[in-house]
Amino acid sequence: MCSARSVEQRRVVRFGVQAQVIYSWTDPSGRNQLGVGRTRNISISGVFVLCSSPPEKGTQINLEINLPPLARGARQNLKLETKGKVTRVTGIDQESGFAATSQFELYEILP
């Protein structure tokens, strides 16, 4: 008799970081789109973004993630930028958002 259980298929560790995300893409009609959301989790190879209007699965997307300070009251001007691909979209029955694969580049924002 087999028992049903979920199998963890992730290859990298994900971190529950809450950060603002600005994302943009070109829709199927060729129009540029822009959205704002928050990260649910992030890893070295991708991110899950909570948002009200996720792009379609398979969409090439630009992401800019403004990282929060590591210590309370500290100033931190770091952001991640990447181009990725939407690999999964969640709908009304779950938290609305999308997962995207990417290879992040880290930038320090100078005053």
Residues in the chain, pLDDT under 50: 1-8
Asked if residue 8 belongs to a domain, the reply is no
The answer to whether residues 99 and 50 touch, using CB atoms and an 8 Å cutoff, is no
Asked if residue 6 belongs to a domain, the reply is no
Number of domains the chain contains: 1
Query: What local confidence, expressed as pLDDT, does residue 11 receive?
Result: 65
Query: What local confidence, expressed as pLDDT, does residue 73 receive?
Result: 73
Q: How far apart are CA 104 and CA 79, in angstroms?
A: 10
Asked if residue 12 belongs to a domain, the reply is no
Q: Taking the model in full, what pTM does it have?
A: 0.76
Query: What local confidence, expressed as pLDDT, does residue 109 receive?
Result: 65
Provide the CATH number for the domain around residue 26: 2.30.110.10
Query: What local confidence, expressed as pLDDT, does residue 72 receive?
Result: 76
Asked if residue 10 belongs to a domain, the reply is no
